[in-house]
Amino acid sequence: MFQFIRKQIHNHLVERKIRRTRFVTKDGHCNIKFGTAEYHNHFAFLMDFWTTFVEIHWCFVIVLFAAAFTGSWFIFGLLWYSLAKNNGDLEVLQNSAESQRMKCIENINSLTTAFLYSLETQTTIGYGGRALTGHCPGTVALLIIQSLMGAIINCFMCGLILAKISLPKRRAKTVTFSETAVICLWKGNLCLQIRVANLRKTLLIGSHIYGKLLRTTITPEGETIILDQVNIDFLVDAGKDNLFFVCPLTLYHVIDTSSPFSEMAADTLQQQDFELVVFLDGTAESTSLSCQVRTSYLPREIKWGYSFLPVISRTKGGKYRVDLSNFSKTEPAVTPHCAYCFHNEHNKEFILHQHVREGIDNLGFDVIDLQDSVDVTEG
């Protein structure tokens, strides 16, 4: 029992360490901190205040929403109270002998009533109990200023909330990648494969997918480069641009002599220190907003000698069905030990022959009786 608990704690600590060392999390967040306190320029964020407000958490937006309106009501309430007090409206109410004196605002006798008048003015409620008399030019000017400021605050807060609701990153939540990547044979080539699925029926227009291999390298001059980026091209049968992203796609990267994976083998892959970051760019069909989906794969999340199970099948009625339960599931496949072994001509012919001879049927497709689905007529 104690050994089991110790093992679980050890695994939890290992997982926490892995999460800390991962540059891009599985859900696309970047694990990075910019500079130190002395180089952290907060003024630059204030200059770009709109982006700052859009990117802050919802709790701060709600606080900002309440503070903006309540603060403006209170500030203008103080101004209304000051005008009424300077004009002697408060003394008029206390001394009936001066009741014939001209007042600027009717029925303001305290700071509370001045705050209520400010709220009624900015929100255009107008209960009718408090109103301007028109005898003081200062009150007319203050009324115009408060109306304009209220309109500006309304426009800003409505735009901010609308911008946060329609952020493209929300659309990215409905695009998912497979939990693991696989390395297997595909159409006569040794390939690294990943899967991506669009969970909505609306398309991502102009989709483009690519990858970056992040690793620490040492230059010939002896300089150590952390997070050195190497381009990784991913393809589908129709190319790599403008994907028809209506059903889950299996993307592959050909491991040739120019690929950084050509230096790895089945028994050395797990000892490598790298991170494969995959990007998917596209434009949401319903909102015309560009979005980017990111994920990453560590060496332990890449399976050498496995292939993905099929997810698309066709029913007897002729409809296509997507089974997402097999989206990240894999099965063993005949795969060479390394890229060098595969590119050896003698081994390549043997492996391809064995792969064709021992091919695995697509278990996700239903068997269709031709007599039930096709009518043959003689001409």
**DSSP letters for 120-183:** HHHTT---SSSEE-S--HHHHHHHHHHHHHHHHHHHHHHHHHHHHHT-HHHHHTTEEE-SSEEE
Per-residue pLDDT, 334: 86
Band of residue 357 on the pLDDT scale cut at 50, 70, 90: very low
For the ranges 49-63, 66-80, 281-295, 348-362, the lowest mean pLDDT is seen at: 348-362
Per-residue pLDDT, 358: 46
**Domain ranges, ordered by start, for the chain:** 43-92+101-166, 170-346
Per-residue pLDDT, 22: 80
Question: Which one, of 336, 78, 68, lies nearest residue 185 by Cα?
Answer: 336
**Residue 279, token pair as written in the block:** 């990007």
Cβ burial, residue 201 (10 Å; 0-12/13-18/19+): exposed
Instruction: Select the highest-mean-pLDDT range: 38-47, 57-66, 194-203.
Output: 57-66
Are the C-beta atoms of residues 321 and 247 closer than 8 Å to each other? no
Measured between alpha carbons, how far is residue 222 from residues 19, 128, 260 in Å? 29, 81, 20
Residues 247, 323: Cα–Cα separation, whole Å: 10
Band of residue 126 on the pLDDT scale cut at 50, 70, 90: confident
Residues 23, 61: Cα–Cα separation, whole Å: 28
Whole-prediction pTM? 0.66
Per-residue pLDDT, 370: 40
Fold annotation for 43-92+101-166: Helix Hairpins (1.10.287)
The domain 170-346 having CATH identifier 2.60.40.1400: the answer here is: yes
Per-residue pLDDT, 55: 83
Task: Give the pLDDT mean for 277-286.
Answer: 85
Residue 356, helix vs strand vs coil: helix
Band of residue 248 on the pLDDT scale cut at 50, 70, 90: confident
> pLDDT: is 83 or 39 the higher one?
83
Look at the block and give the residue holding tokens 């009625």: 317
Per-residue pLDDT, 72: 94
User: Which amino acid is located at 321 in the chain?
Assistant: R
Each residue's pLDDT tens digit, 292-326: 888 899 998 999 989 888 888 877 777 888 888 88
Q: Is it true that 43-92+101-166 and 170-346 share their CATH fold? A: no
Question: Which one, of 126, 168, 189, 193, lies nearest residue 288 by Cα?
Answer: 168
Each residue's pLDDT tens digit, 183-221: 988 888 889 999 988 888 777 877 888 899 988 887 788
Per-residue pLDDT, 65: 93
Per-residue pLDDT, 360: 42
Per-residue pLDDT, 375: 42
Each residue's pLDDT tens digit, 140-174: 899 999 999 999 999 999 999 988 887 777 777 78
Most distant CA atoms of the chain, gap in Å: 116
